[in-house]
Every structure is written in structure tokens, then in C-alpha cells.
Amino acid sequence: MNDQNELLLLATTEMPFGKHRGCKLIDLPETYVVWFHQNGFPEGKIGKLLGLLYEIKLNGLEYLVKDLNKHP
């Protein structure tokens, strides 16, 4: 999977479980993503995406992913 595909997945994938189930990953609250960083990301694709999301939110780059939803 390349970086552009991963960013697109962050913009379109919904959280599959928990308090924010159904929320697009990019729209998850930063505190929720930080909690996963501190307590461990889940296994598999969702864990990798949450790890990437943590880095994006940490560096204030959410706008890069949110802009993907504006273009076809």
C-alpha cells in the first residue's frame, strides 16, 4: 500500500468499534488517538492506520487528509 492510498483510507475508513464507531478515522478526536498510542494500537490494518493518524495529528497535518474528501 502506498502513502497516497493510506491517506485516502484515513479519509474514508470508519472506526469499526468503540465509542467512536462509525466516525471517519480522520475525524477521531486527538485524545482518542493519543490513548491508542499510549495503550497500544490494535492489530492489523486499523492499527496501522491509527498509528499513521497519530503521526498526522501530532504534526498538525489533518488538512492533507481532509482535503482528499473534497476531490473526486
- pLDDT score at 64: 85
SS3 17: coil
Q: What is the pLDDT of residues 40-72, one digit of tens each?
A: 999 999 999 999 999 999 999 998 888 776 655
Pairwise CA distance, residues 46 & 50, whole Å: 6
pTM of the model: 0.88
